[in-house]
C-alpha cells in the first residue's frame, strides 16, 4: 500500500530505536531466567505427555518433582530417567503418571543422557517442522483462495465437539480463520488439562487433544472448499509456552501470544510472563505460526481517542520482542481496534487515520484488526452499522487479519446465524470496494493526516518517558491501559527460576540456532 499520511520516517526510526532501548533490560533479565512453564514446554516437545488419575499432567508431575534442579534445566533429568531405566518415552510417561519420581535417580551417565535429550529434542522439532511444511504445501495448493484480509471468526461453546459444528459452518460460509476461545480463566491455570473437553464456560479448554480434533475438522472442510482454513487459539497466561508447544505439534496457524495482555488483564506476574513469552515465541517462530498481540484490549479500559498512542507504543515494543524471539515480520499480527466512542464527531476519520497509520508503519506485518465491542449494545441495527464501517476501514487500509464483529456480542455468545451475517456483510463490503484503498488520497492538511501525525508524536513522547522509567516500572505505575500491576505481585511468580551456569536446554539451543534472532 502506498504511503498517504506523510509520516516522518525519522520519527518512526526513532520510535523503533527507543523500543529497542526499552526492551533491552527486559531481554537481559529473560536471558538469565527460566520458568516452570518453559521447562514443561521443553519436556512436551521431547515427548512428555499424559496425566495421572487426578488429571495432573505428566509435564507438571515431572517438573514439580525436579523443582530443586530447575536452575540447571529439566531436560537432562527426563532423559536421564530414560537412560537409567531403559524405558521408552511412553513407558516413562506412564511411570511418572503412576508416581515415579524423576528426582530420585542419580545422574548415572551424563553423556548418554545428553545424547538422549538431543535425540528427543530433534524428534519433537522435526514433527513441528513437518507441520510447517504441510501448511506451506496446503497454502500453495490453494493459493489465492482465501480472503484479503483473512476473515477471522470465533467459536466458543465450551464443548469441542459443538465447536467443530460451528467451525465447519463458519468455514463453509467463508471464514478463513477459526479461533477457538478458551474457557473463562484458563489463563490462570498453571497446568494444561488433558484430553478432549466438553464443559468449558464462555469458551473451550485449550488442550492438545482439542487442537487435534479441530485441526482435523478444518482440514476436512478445507479440502471440500479448496481453501486452507487457519486455526487459532490463545497462549497467554501461566501456560503460554506449553500451549505454543502443543499448537506447534498439532499445526495451529495463529496464536494470541502477548505478555502485556496477561500482565494487565489477568494479573500474571510480569517477570514470569516475559520469560514465558520469549520461549513461546521462539516455538511459534520455528513453527511458522503467526502471533496475535493484544493491544486492542488497552482500549477497553482506557479511552480510544486519548490513549491511541499507547497502542502504537506497545506495537513497537511487541515488534522488538518478536524480533528477539526469531519471528519474521509476516508472523507479527500486531493488534489494534476500532473502539472509538461513536458519538465523537469524525470518529470514523480518526479510526481510518489510525488504521492507515499502523499499516504504513508496519507495512510487512499482517495487522490484526479488532471490531467494535466497547460501545456495542442490544441495538443490533446500530451494531451492524458500526461493524460495516469497521469492515470498510479494514479493507481500505489493507489490514491482514480481520476479526469479524458480531451483532449479539454484547448480549450472548453469538449464534451460527450471527456469524453468517457477519461473514456476508464483510464479504459484500470488501468486494464492493476492492480497489478503494488504491484509489483514495488524503488531504495534506486534513483531519486524517493531522490525527496520524499527532498520534505518532505522542507515541514518541510516551516511548521517551518509558525509556526513562523502565518498562516494568511503567507497568507498575499504570501507564498502559490505566491498569497498574506491581512487579512482585500477580500470579505465577513462584514458577520463576534463575538459571545457574549449568543450565542446559536442548530445545532452546536448537531453536536459537535455527531462528533469525535479532
Does residue 344 form part of some domain? yes
What is residue 359's predicted lDDT score, i.e. its pLDDT?
98
Instruction: State the Cα–Cα distance between residues 204 and 161, nearest whole angstrom.
Output: 10
Q: What is the pLDDT of residue 411?
A: 65
Number of domains in the chain: 1
CA distances 221 to 113, 217, 218, Å, are 44, 6, 5
Give the span between the Cα atoms of 83 and 46, in whole angstroms.
14
3-state secondary structure 138-157: HHHHCCCCCCCCEEEEEECC
For residue 379, what pLDDT is reported?
A: 85
pLDDT in the model for residue 426: 96
Alpha-carbon distance 176 to 153, whole Å?
8
State the pLDDT at residue 422: 93
Residue 416: predicted pLDDT? 77
Cis ω for the linkage preceding 149 (within 30 of 0):
yes
Are 485 and 492 in contact by the 8 Å Cβ rule? The answer is: no
351 HSE (CA, 13 A, CB side): 30
The catalytic position among 228, 234, 261, 309 is 261
Q: How far apart are CA 427 and CA 392, in angstroms?
A: 10
Per-residue pLDDT at 450 = 98
Looking at residue 409, its pLDDT comes to 65
CB crowding 29-48: b at 16 or more within 10 Å, else e:
ebeebbbbbbbbbbbbbbbb
From 10, 29, 11, select the one nearest 324 (Cα to Cα): 29
Number of Cβ atoms within 10 Å of the Cβ of 375: 17
Q: How high is the pLDDT of residue 410?
A: 60
Give the whole-number percent of the chain exceeding pLDDT 70. Answer: 99
Distance CA 31, CA 140 (A): 37
Q: Which of 296, 387, 418, 425 is catalytic?
A: 296
Is 296 a known active-site residue? Answer: yes
Opening angle at CA 156, ends 150 and 158, nearest 5: 150
Let me know if 368 is a catalytic residue: yes
Q: 360 lies in which domain range?
A: 1-31+294-468
Query: Looking at the domain assignment, is residue 430 inside a domain?
Result: yes
The continuous run of DSSP H or E covering 193 comes out as: none
- 3-class DSSP state for residue 322? helix
Q: Rounded CA gap, 167 and 214, in Å? A: 8
Nearest Cα residue to 233 out of 155, 332, 162: 155
Instruction: Name the residue among 67, 77, 153 with its Cα closest to residue 120.
Output: 77
Cα–Cα dist 358/409, whole Å: 26
User: Model confidence over 245-260: pLDDT tens digits?
Assistant: 999 999 999 999 999 9
- Tell me, yes or no, whether 228 lies in a domain: no
**pLDDT of 418:** 84
Alpha helices in 251-402 (DSSP H): 259-266, 270-287, 298-301, 308-324, 347-361, 380-396
Tell me the C-alpha distance between 425 and 386, whole Å. 11
As given in the structure block, the three cell numbers for residue 158 are 465450551
- Strands (E) across 59-209 are located at 150-155, 177-180
* Maximal CA-CA distance, the chain: 75
pLDDT of residue 238: 97
Q: What integer pLDDT is reported at residue 123 of this predicted model?
A: 98
Tell whether 487 is covered by a domain.
no
The 3-class SS string of 287-301 reads HCCEEECCHHHHHHH
* Beta carbons within 8 Å of 208's beta carbon, 6+ residues apart: 49, 192, 246, 249, 250
Shortest CA distance to 259 belongs to which of 322, 304, 201, 301? Answer: 322
- Cβ atoms of 290 and 330 within 8 Å: the answer is yes
Q: Closest by alpha carbon to 211, among 236, 231, 240, 192? A: 231
385 lies in some domain: yes
For 376-418, what is each residue's pLDDT tens digit? 887 888 889 999 999 999 999 999 999 999 877 666 667 778 8
* 257: in domain: no
- Model-level pTM? 0.97
**Selection from 337, 420, 432 nearest residue 386 by Cα:** 337
Q: Could you count the other beta carbons within 10 Å of the beta carbon of residue 467?
A: 17
The C-alpha cell at 70 is 530447575
How far apart are alpha carbons 17 and 462 in whole angstroms?
A: 13
CATH code, 358 = 3.20.20.440
Inside any domain, residue 393 = yes
336 phi, psi to nearest 5 deg: -160, 175
| Residue 455 · residue 309 · CB < 8 Å | yes
Q: Roughly what angle, to the nearest 10 degrees, separates helices 160-173 and 416-432?
A: 30
State which residues of the chain have pLDDT below 50.
none
- For residue 186, the 8-state DSSP code is G
Q: 116, 307, 368, 491: which one is catalytic?
A: 368
Nearest to 173 by CA among 381, 411, 427: 427
The span from the CA of 191 to the CA of 338, in Å, is 34
Q: Is the dihedral of CA 12, 311, 353, 440 positive or negative?
A: positive
498, 500, 504, 509: CA torsion to nearest 10: 60
Amino acid at each position: 500500500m502506498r504511503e498517504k499520511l506523510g509520516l516522518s520516517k525519522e520519527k518512526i526510526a526513532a520510535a523503533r530505536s527507543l523500543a529497542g532501548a526499552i526492551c533491552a533490560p527486559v531481554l537481559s533479565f529473560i536471558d538469565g531466567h527460566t520458568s516452570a512453564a518453559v521447562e514443561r514446554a521443553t519436556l512436551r516437545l521431547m515427548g512428555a505427555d499424559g496425566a495421572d488419575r487426578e488429571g495432573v499432567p505428566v509435564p507438571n508431575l515431572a517438573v514439580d518433582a525436579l523443582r530443586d534442579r530447575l536452575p540447571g534445566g529439566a531436560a537432562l533429568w527426563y532423559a536421564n530417567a530414560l537412560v537409567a531405566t531403559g524405558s521408552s518415552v511412553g513407558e516413562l510417561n506412564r511411570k511418572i503418571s503412576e508416581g515415579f519420581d524423576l528426582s530420585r535417580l542419580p545422574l548415572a551417565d551424563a553423556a548418554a543422557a545428553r545424547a538422549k535429550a538431543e535425540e528427543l529434542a530433534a524428534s519433537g522439532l522435526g514433527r513441528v517442522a513437518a507441520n510447517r511444511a504441510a501448511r506451506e504445501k496446503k497454502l500453495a495448493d490453494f493459493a489465492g483462495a482465501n480472503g484479503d484480509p483473512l476473515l477471522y471468526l470465533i467459536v466458543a461453546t465450551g464443548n469441542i465437539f459443538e465447536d467443530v459444528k460451528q467451525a465447519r459452518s463458519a468455514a463453509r460460509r467463508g471464514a478463513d480463520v477459526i479461533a477457538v476461545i478458551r474457557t473463562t480463566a484458563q489463563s490462570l491455570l498453571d497446568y494444561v488439562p488433558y484430553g478432549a473437553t466438553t464443559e468449558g464456560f464462555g469458551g473451550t479448554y485449550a488442550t492438545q487433544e482439542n487442537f487435534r480434533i479441530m485441526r482435523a475438522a478444518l482440514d476436512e472442510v478445507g479440502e471440500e472448499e479448496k481453501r486452507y482454513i487457519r486455526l487459532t487459539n490463545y497462549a497467554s497466561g501461566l501456560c503460554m509456552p506449553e500451549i505454543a508447544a502443543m499448537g506447534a505439534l498439532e499445526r495451529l496457524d495463529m496464536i494470541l501470544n502477548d505478555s502485556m495482555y496477561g500482565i494487565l488483564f489477568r494479573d500474571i506476574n510480569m517477570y514470569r510472563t516475559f520469560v514465558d513469552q520469549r520461549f513461546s515465541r521462539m516455538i511459534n517462530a520455528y513453527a511458522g505460526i503467526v502471533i496475535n498481540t493484544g493491544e486492542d484490549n488497552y482500549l477497553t479500559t482506557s479511552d480510544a481517542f486519548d490513549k491511541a498512542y499507547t497502542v502504537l507504543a506497545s506495537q513497537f515494543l511487541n515488534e522488538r520482542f518478536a524480533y528477539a524471539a526469531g519471528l519474521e515480520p509476516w508472523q507479527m499480527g500486531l493488534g489494534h481496534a476500532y473502539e472509538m466512542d461513536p458519538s465523537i464527531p469524525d470518529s470514523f476519520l480518526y479510526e481510518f487515520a489510525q488504521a492507515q497509520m499502523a499499516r504504513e508503519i508496519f507495512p510487512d506485518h499482517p495487522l490484526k484488526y479488532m471490531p467494535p465491542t466497547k460501545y456495542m449494545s442490544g441495538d443490533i441495527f446500530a451494531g451492524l452499522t458500526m461493524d460495516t464501517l469497521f469492515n470498510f476501514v479494514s479493507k481500505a487500509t489493507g489490514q491482514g487479519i480481520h476479526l469479524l464483529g458480531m451483532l449479539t456480542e454484547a448480549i450472548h455468545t453469538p449464534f451460527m446465524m450471527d456469524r453468517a451475517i457477519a461473514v456476508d456483510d464483510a464479504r459484500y463490503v470488501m468486494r464492493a470496494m476492492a480497489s478503494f484503498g488504491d484509489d483514495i488520497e488524503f488531504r495534506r492538511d486534513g483531519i486524517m493526516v493531522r490525527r496520524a501525525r499527532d498520534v505518532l508524536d505522542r507515541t514518541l513522547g510516551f516511548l521517551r518517558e518509558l525509556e526513562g522509567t523502565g518498562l516494568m516500572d511503567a507497568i507498575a505505575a499504570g501507564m498502559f491501559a490505566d491498569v497498574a500491576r506491581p512487579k512482585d505481585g500477580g500470579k505465577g511468580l513462584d514458577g520463576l527460576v534463575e538459571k545457574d551456569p549449568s543450565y542446559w536446554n536442548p530445545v532452546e539451543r536448537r531453536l536459537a540456532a535455527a531462528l533469525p534472532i535479532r
